[in-house]
Each structure stands twice: as C-alpha cells, then as structure tokens.
Amino acid sequence: MAWCVYTNETPSSPDVGISMNPKKWNRKKWLLFGLAAALVLVPPHALKADATDEIVRLAALMEWRPGTIVADIGAGDGSYSFAAAERVGASGRIFATEIDKKKLKELRAEVKKRNLQNVTVIESAEAETRLPAACCDAIFLRRVYHHLTKPVEFDANLIRSLKPGGRLAIIDFPPRPDLDPVEGVPANRGGHGIPQKLVIDELTAAGFQVEKIVADWPGDSYCILFLRK
C-alpha cells in the first residue's frame, strides 16, 4: 500500500519527501494522520453491523410482531436468530436453518445453553429449506443467497415455506473482486456476491413480487423485500 502524506514542513533532504521528526509535529497533525490511516486500512465492508440493531431494522421493514413466525436461512452462529427470537417473543417462533454439520452442532448447543424455547434448529439441504409447508410469516437470508448452488429449486422451496402474503428479505451484496469466487454457484453471478437485478429476476420467476428495495443496508449490502402473492 502506497502512502502519501502532505504537510507544510520543509523536506529534510532531497531523498525524503517529508520530515517525520516528531518534534515538528503537533498533536493535531498526529491525530489527523491516525484518522487517515484508520480510514485507509479499514474498508467499509469490514465494519460489521451489530446483529441486534440490524434485526430491529429488519423487523420494522418486514412488520414483525409478537407471535410472528420467522425463518433465518443459513443461520451460522445464530446471532441473528437469537436477536430475532427476542423481537417475536415467546408467542413467536424462529426456525434457524443451517447446512454445515459443525455449525449445526454448535447452534443446537447454544440454543440449549440459552434455553430458547422459541427457536427451532433445522438442517437444510442444497436445494431445500426443509421447513414445513406454509409455516412462516417471514423468511430472511442474510448474505446467503449468493451461496445457493441450486437457486431455482431453493426459491421454489422458499415460496412453499411462506404463508400467503408472507414476506421474504434477501440481504446480500454486489460481486466483489477482493473475494474468492463461490464454488458450485451459477456462472452468471459475476464473482463473490450477486447483483440486485439477478436476485429480482430469479425470485420473481419463482412467483414472488418485489415490495421494496433498500440500497443502503449495513455492511455495503442491499436488502430486497419480496411478497408471496
């Protein structure tokens, strides 16, 4: 990484672009230098949103209420499922689905440890949610859709798992050249990530209707809200 620093100091020699003698720098300049370094070294997508804050925003967007039944597809460590469980309350239910065996084991252990009576862990499959038919008021996939290797089949399962009038939220990000490609996904993804238009095309073909697009979701992501017709 190349650094370029500009000051009003006179260079100490023809071979040095800037005099870095600390005695000539006042505290304000060092603070500005540190701030500039932080902005360069920490890319925006590395600043992860807090799960609780993001779920609060998602719950408002999807109109969750106490008693709402929600599925978190690709729940990972469960952070978002657990935050969602607090939002829907004891009368609601969260289905936390995961395909990775190790993550499933850890997720089940954490649910048991927390004694979460309103969270059900489900082992999903490559082309199936394995959720009961018409079980959910809302389903969300957070940075998961671009990993789907059989999106057509999976999308059909998503619409089957939602109640009529239920909502689906896809939180994802455009293809990023700094990330390795995902193995096994369709070649039209354009890299690690997925364009908004492709998500819309695939899910409307499955029978969903676009309700809202939020372009400024945390973590350099977007959120597309769909409605089951």
Q: Hey, is 76 helix, strand or coil?
A: coil
Please tell me the predicted confidence (pLDDT) of residue 7: 28
Please tell me the predicted confidence (pLDDT) of residue 229: 87
Please tell me the predicted confidence (pLDDT) of residue 49: 52
| pTM to 2 decimal places | 0.79
Please tell me the predicted confidence (pLDDT) of residue 45: 38
Phi and psi torsions of 180, nearest 5°: -65, 145
The residues, any chain, with a CB within 8 Å of residue 123's CB and separated by 6 or more, are 97, 98, 99, 104, 130
Q: Which of these, 175, 176, 161, 179, lies nearest to 226 by C-alpha position?
A: 161
Query: In this structure, are residues 196 and 226 in contact, taking their beta carbons and an 8 Å threshold?
Result: no
Please tell me the predicted confidence (pLDDT) of residue 27: 52
| Structure confidence by residue, pLDDT tens digits, 75-129 | 999 999 999 999 999 999 999 999 999 999 999 999 999 999 999 999 999 999 9
Please tell me the predicted confidence (pLDDT) of residue 24: 44
Please tell me the predicted confidence (pLDDT) of residue 183: 96
Phi-psi region of 165 (alpha: psi -120 to 50; beta: other; left: phi over 0): left
Q: Strand 136-142: give its sheet, edge to edge.
A: 119-123, 93-98, 69-73, 136-142, 162-172, 221-228, 208-217
Question: In terms of residues, how long is the chain?
Answer: 229
Which residue numbers in the chain have pLDDT < 50? 1-25, 28-48
- β-partners of residue 192 are 176
Please tell me the predicted confidence (pLDDT) of residue 11: 32
Q: Hey, is 170 helix, strand or coil?
A: strand
Please tell me the predicted confidence (pLDDT) of residue 44: 38
The whole-angstrom distance between residue 82's C-alpha and the CA centroid of its chain comes to: 15
